[in-house]
């Protein structure tokens, strides 16, 4: 998030905290006094129709000040931290170009860290390999899949998503 040597750095405000901790009210109060646009840093708010349990700002609240990265993805689709980073960086530039201050508001620290610290380059997941690993897990169970993975990548047991991701990475490097 650095500016080029010839450009002025972009001022960005951040309001981070857990769900239902008052971030929306604080952001709206700030918007009444400053020219801001809110960029959501919340992994649940990007999904359309995910209104229960997310403390999503109401339509009236969103109409009173521009909000971004809310209701942009169908719940059946995936949205990664890398996609968030690209979208947020683009929006920050657009908001600053309008002479307004981007306010990052939310509580998904993975998104915040992806934006401020970047992400490691990881190989993209091969959908065919992932499907094969899902089938293996359905047939043999997660413990068996993890045991096979541990032969190549010794690690503590982990959840199904991480096992699939590690297995996909390992399979792309060897035939296991």
The Cα angle at residue 80 between residues 108 and 163, in degrees rounded to 5: 95
Three-state DSSP state, 138: helix
Closest CA to 146 of 131, 161, 125: 161
Q: Residue length, the chain?
A: 176
Residues 37 and 92 in one domain: yes
Q: Supply the CATH number for residue 65's domain.
A: 3.40.50.300
For 4-60, the pLDDT digits (tens) are 445 667 899 999 999 889 999 999 999 999 999 999 999 999 999 988 888 899 999
Three-state DSSP state, 102: strand
Q: Which residue has the higher pLDDT, 173 or 95?
A: 95
**H/E stretch holding 104:** strand 101-106
Residues 112 and 63 in one domain: yes
CA 82 to chain centre: 7
For 119-170, the pLDDT digits (tens) are 987 777 778 888 888 888 889 988 888 788 777 766 655 666 666 666 666 6
Over range 74-96, report the average pLDDT. 95
Residues 93 and 138 in one domain: no
The Cα angle at residue 161 between residues 159 and 162, in degrees rounded to 5: 70
For residue 138, what are the domain limits?
A: 127-173
């Amino acid at each position: 998030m650095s500016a080029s040597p010839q450009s002025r750095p972009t001022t960005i405000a951040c309001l981070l905290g857990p769900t239902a901790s008052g971030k929306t009210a604080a952001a709206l109060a700030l918007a009444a006094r400053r020219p801001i646009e809110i960029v959501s840093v919340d992994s649940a708010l990007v999904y359309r129709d995910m209104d229960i349990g997310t403390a999503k700002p109401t339509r009236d609240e969103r109409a009173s000040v521009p909000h971004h990265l809310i209701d942009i993805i169908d719940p059946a689709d995936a949205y990664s931290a890398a996609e968030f980073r690209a979208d947020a960086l683009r929006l920050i530039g657009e908001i600053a170009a309008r002479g307004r201050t981007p306010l990052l508001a939310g509580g998904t620290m993975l998104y915040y860290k992806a934006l401020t610290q970047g992400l490691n380059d990881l190989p993209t997941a091969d959908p065919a390999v992932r499907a094969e690993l899902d089938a293996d897990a359905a047939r043999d169970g997660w413990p068996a899949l993890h045991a096979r993975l541990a032969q190549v990548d010794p690690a503590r047991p982990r959840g199904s998503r991480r096992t699939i991701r590690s297995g996909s990475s390992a399979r792309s490097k060897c035939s296991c």
